[in-house]
Amino acid sequence: MNYALVITFIFMMAYADACRTQTPDEREGHERNPLEFNIANIQRGKQFFTIHCVSCHGLDGRGDTEMREFLKTPPADLVDDQWTYGDGDDAIFDVIKEGRTLRDMPAFTEKLNDERIWQVISYTRYLGGERP
């Protein structure tokens, strides 16, 4: 019996299983949203998104609002898979909290506490097609 082949096979199976149980954020070393991805957090995130984000990103999160005419850079499309500053939850959290002056994204550190930012992230994930 070829023990090297057997050991290699066992290692590959264990690695494949570990990859299936980790989220993409965990595999890439990103911090995942600490709030449970559930309807309550998504709905709460939608409330804050509606108050603070819709004017630029639109109801559907696509960023195709009239604000395109007034800003140096167009509002980001939040439902596509092209995130300028990274698509891990921690990167999205940082953009919302700290803003990006070069891209006309205001900081929300004074308007939203951390829990509310995480709820907005849950809602943007929902807009992008993720479901609880």
One digit per residue, pLDDT tens: the chain, 132 residues?
A: 565 554 545 545 554 444 444 444 444 556 899 999 999 999 999 999 999 999 999 999 999 999 999 999 999 999 988 888 888 999 999 999 999 998 899 999 999 999 999 999 999 999 999 999
Task: Tell me the two tokens of residue 115.
Answer: 């829990």
Domain ranges of the chain: 1-30, 33-127
30-40: b (≥16 Cβ within 10 Å) or e: beebebebeee
- Model confidence, pTM: 0.77
Distance CA 115, CA 79 (A): 21
**H-type helices in the chain, by residue range?**
3-21, 24-27, 39-52, 54-57, 89-98, 114-127
In this structure, what are the phi and psi dihedrals at residue 45, rounded to the nearest 5 degrees? -60, -35
3-state secondary structure of 100: strand
Dihedral in degrees, nearest 10, Cα atoms 109, 114, 37, 45: -50
- Multiple choice CATH, 33-127, 3.40.50.300, 1.10.760.10, 1.10.150.530, 3.40.50.1220: 1.10.760.10
